[in-house]
């Protein structure tokens, strides 16, 4: 309290109060709801969770999804960022925009799009069925993995792409002079330098995959994850059990915090400081390397934007009630705009307001 009460002191107090009101208070209330009963303090909700194999299975499902999505997103994002940074790819600027667009759709829309493509009556499924080939449908673990991986890969890509711009090209040239080239150079020189950034992006993907509700709800079917379990316990056909839902949420918060602390510890141990006097410049490759780089980038972009493109296409199809018929029409847009009311306006107002608050608070 002896500190000089200048503008920064007031800002510090204000931001601290924001965290208390919007972070600590909800967590405390969540904890209280999980242990408080009419008869006093009870840990029955936690005991209920640890006494059933079904709930263990849900935890294993969630861990399987989050770890698999994080791993697959890294496998795709790191080479993608490396190729677009070091190799001249045709239409690279358009590709970078499409990568960002592929991550902007809501989880519900992404899952719905893939149902239209790879559902039991999806376009791709029907096509292969006509030529006598049976393809796996989108439902279950494999579908969740596909949808979340394609949607969350751009998060790691953006982190890694920014980090690669801080790497001095003289380091790579020195590696090449010691006969360390190609993939070996990427794994032995570049990857260790940007490892803290990869871990930061992976943490973000891990948390998003862990918390995602829409994708497992739509295409998970019997494959339950923690967010779906919490929702089902909170709004249950047998009567809601919000105390049990709160107990599960507390365990998820503890787990997520533990993952964050481990990531922070490893990232700090592997951190590097670099001054990029000569940033990496994309070079034109020849032969197999050039072909392989273009195939990898274009194939990823095709898969990533295919759901959005197909949703756009189906929006122009003519319908009779809820059934598609031959021909094209703008009638679906007329019906949509007549029913949505203020939904679009509300979405933009909420999104822009949140953006302003986040930028200002984070900057301070």
- Tens of pLDDT, residue by residue over 4-48, are 678 888 888 999 999 999 999 999 998 888 888 777 788 888 888
pLDDT score at 238 = 52
Helices (H) then strands (E): counts for the chain: 18, 4
DSSP state, residue 178: T
Is residue 27 within 8 A of residue 253, CB to CB? The reply is: yes
pLDDT score at 80 = 93
pTM of the predicted protein model: 0.83
Is residue 337 within 8 A of residue 323, CB to CB? The reply is: no
- Tens of pLDDT, residue by residue over 308-330, are 888 888 889 888 777 778 888 88
pLDDT score at 55 = 82
Share of the chain residues as helix, strand and coil, in percent rounded to the nearest 5: 75, 5, 25
d(CA 52, CA 44) in angstroms, rounded, equals: 13
Burial (CB count within 10 angstroms: exposed 0-12, middle 13-18, buried 19+), residue 249: buried
Annotate 163-174 with b (16+ C-beta within 10 A) or e (fewer). bbebbbeebbee
Using left for φ > 0, alpha for ψ between -120 and 50, and beta otherwise, residue 287 falls in: left
**Structure token pair of residue 62:** 């969630």
d(CA 117, CA 150) in angstroms, rounded, equals: 15
Annotate 93-104 with b (16+ C-beta within 10 A) or e (fewer). eebbebbeebbe
pLDDT score at 281 = 81
d(CA 345, CA 338) in angstroms, rounded, equals: 14
Pick out the chain residues at pLDDT < 50.
237
d(CA 10, CA 8) in angstroms, rounded, equals: 5
Structural element, H or E, at residue 37: strand 36-37
Burial (CB count within 10 angstroms: exposed 0-12, middle 13-18, buried 19+), residue 194: buried
DSSP state, residue 119: S
**Structure token pair of residue 39:** 């008869």
3-state secondary structure 269-301: HCCCCCCCCCECCCECCCHHHHHHHHHHHHHHH
């Amino acid at each position: 309290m002896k500190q000089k009460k200048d503008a920064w002191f007031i800002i510090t107090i204000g931001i601290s109060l924001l965290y208390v009101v919007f972070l600590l208070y909800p967590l405390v209330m969540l904890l209280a709801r999980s242990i408080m009963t009419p008869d006093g303090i009870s840990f029955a909700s936690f005991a209920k969770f640890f006494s059933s194999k079904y709930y263990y299975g849900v935890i294993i499902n969630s861990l399987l999804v989050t770890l698999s999505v994080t791993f697959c997103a890294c496998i795709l994002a790191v080479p993608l960022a490396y190729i677009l940074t070091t190799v001249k790819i045709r239409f690279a600027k358009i590709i970078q925009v499409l990568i960002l667009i592929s991550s902007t759709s809501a989880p519900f829309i992404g899952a719905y799009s893939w149902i239209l493509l790879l559902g039991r009556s999806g376009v791709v499924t029907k096509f292969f069925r006509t030529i006598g080939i049976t393809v796996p449908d989108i439902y279950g673990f494999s579908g969740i993995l596909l949808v979340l991986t394609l949607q969350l890969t751009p998060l790691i890509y953006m982190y890694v792409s920014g980090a690669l711009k801080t790497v001095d090209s003289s380091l790579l040239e020195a590696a090449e002079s010691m006969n360390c080239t190609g993939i070996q150079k990427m794994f032995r020189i570049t990857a260790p330098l940007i490892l803290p950034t990869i871990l930061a992006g992976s943490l973000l993907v891990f948390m998003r995959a862990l918390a995602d509700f829409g994708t497992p709800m739509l295409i998970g079917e019997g494959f339950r994850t923690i967010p779906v379990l919490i929702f089902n316990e909170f709004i249950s056909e047998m009567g809601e059990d919000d105390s049990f839902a709160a107990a599960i949420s507390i365990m998820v918060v503890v787990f997520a915090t533990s993952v964050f602390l481990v990531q922070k510890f490893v990232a700090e141990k592997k951190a590097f400081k670099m001054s990029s006097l000569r940033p990496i410049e994309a070079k034109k490759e020849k032969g197999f390397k050039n072909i392989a780089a273009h195939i990898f980038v274009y194939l990823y972009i095709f898969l990533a934007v295919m759901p959005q493109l197909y949703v756009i296409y189906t929006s122009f199809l003519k319908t009779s009630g809820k059934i598609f018929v031959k021909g094209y029409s703008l009638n679906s847009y007329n019906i949509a705009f007549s029913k949505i009311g203020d939904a679009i306006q509300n979405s933009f107002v909420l999104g822009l307001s949140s953006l302003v608050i986040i930028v200002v608070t984070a900057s301070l």
